[in-house]
Structure 1
Amino acid sequence: MLLSILAIIFGFVLLVWSADKFVESASATAFHAGMPPLLIGMVIVGFGTSAPEMVVSAMAAMEGSPALALGNALGSNVVNISLVLGLAAMIAPLSVQSKIVKKELPLLLIISIVLGAMLWNSTLSQVEAWLLLGGFFCFVFWSIYRGMKGDARDLEPEAIDEIKSNTMSTKTAIIWLVVSLLILMGSSRLLVWGSVDIAHALGVSDLIIGLTVVALGTSLPELAATIIAAKKGEHDIALGNIIGSNMFNILAVIGIAGVIKPVENIGGEIFWRDWMTMLVVTIVLFAAAIGFKGKNGRITRWEGAILLLFYIGYNTYLISSVIQA
């Protein structure tokens, strides 16, 4: 048991570090190769925020634990909105621009509802997983098209400045790209092994471990980035990171895991408890972003507290269900 706990701790630390190094080296490599900084900010940096979830879920599926992969994605989305944005809004109320309300959030809601339709029968077939993965590629190509047309998200100027200031040479960037990717894969495997081992030792399902411990750990990059952005007053970065990451989690993380190994007969709670919680917090975020009673697009500290209470209540229920089992 002690060895498994150490594996989780070291796995998390290496996962967060290698994911950050992977994004930095991938951005530098693409920049030296002549890829426009705008598209690097939209595609590579956006991909990087969900890299931990993607690799962990892929490893879990290959290890024969697709339920852990699904729990990781759903749990990460709940963590991102309820815990991460909740804490960020309590630190500093978040202003929401109209285009996020008109374009980004409705798309996230639609993707979430599509996932719910797929999980209605407590399974996720390979065909459904391929559909999600196809949606992911469509989303990436759409982002590239928007970038080429000049319809860039507000978070990109900061990303571009960071990429241009990167002094990493081409050779160094390629070396770190390979090394960080290997560490990312190794730390993910270590994390999955430790999590599954503890789950089996305690008699807890892989799904519960994925929804709680693994989901929180793989969301650490979003937590750090969003809180820092909120403190700096860069509200679009805080919101954009979370919305983009949640889209990636549904389309790519679940899609990749489902293609590797379909999820079958995991119980109705995946729909009624976990997917429903994810949908509710997404709707709460959408309602707060729209504004009411003359309040225009602002997530207040009170609304942040409500989101945080959702996280506490949901995880309390998950833990209590394990204790009572």
Structure 2
Amino acid sequence: MPAAGEDALDALNALVRPDLEACNRLIVERMQSPVALIPQLAAHIVAAGGKRLRPLLTLAAARLCGYPAGGRRHVALAACVEFIHTATLLHDDVVDESALRRGQASANALFGNKASVLVGDFLFARAFQLMVEDGSLKVLAILSAAAATIAEGEVLQLVTQNDTATTEAQYLRVIEGKTAALFAAATRVGAVVAERPETEEAALDAYGRNLGIAFQLVDDALDYAAEQERLGKTVGDDFREGKITLPVLLAFARGDAEEREFWRRTLEAREQGAADLAQAQALMRRHRALEDTLARARAYGEAALSALAAFPDGAERRALAGIVAFCVDRAR
């Protein structure tokens, strides 16, 4: 794959730096409210070290499609994408009872669940204001559909949580909804603002969707494999919450009756002892569940790269290709 890891993210940042700086200014401006708690809480999560990956994708996709340098629509829509993402993070941390976000105390841990939910609602509202200001019904359709799909994915994850009978197809529906839908929308609107043909919209949708799935597969593997400092949240959160992810599904399917009973006890009954996370990690090593999850992520990454073949070679296409390596290489 092209340039690896952080170098690829740095390259993309450098390519769209003026646009990203304008996007960041707009985010700060639209976070403001006469209700002091709103900008205070929003600033906590927005300033917590996020990579701005999704808005970067919008900015780069617009550039890839020839959107004029003096245009501002892509900047506003990149901010819109970041607001949607940030709102979902606030809500997710409440649902998951997370204490950490990006290595810092989560907003709900500092400000409480009620404030986090309500400020998340505020950020969703800001996102929709930006969509309306753009004035394109097509943009509104794409981003509002993504927002609805994200919510559906989160609800489906709630329904399948703690259920070891969950299928891989159901799991994929969860991550396509909660993660990949926004990646796809973020890249697709870049083609829309540049007024490119449907074929290019579809190619960028496919790129974003496959990239998002690869990103989430790696995240789900890292929850059992990474150090807490690198992961930016408590290692084993998915295990403690009883989330059914692909590493669990693979280890469960390949395990014997005793091992399956272990997964039922720890994930379904939520009866977990101090040594159970280590046991879960050992079972995943025994059955190559993490390696195979990462192999699946690489396959989706290759599909994302293939989608970029619809565009001529250039700095933007190379930067977007490098982001595939960035998303997959986080597991190394």
TM over 0.5: no
Larger Cα-atom Rg: 2
TM-score (norm: length of structure 2): 0.31
TM-score (norm: length of structure 1): 0.31
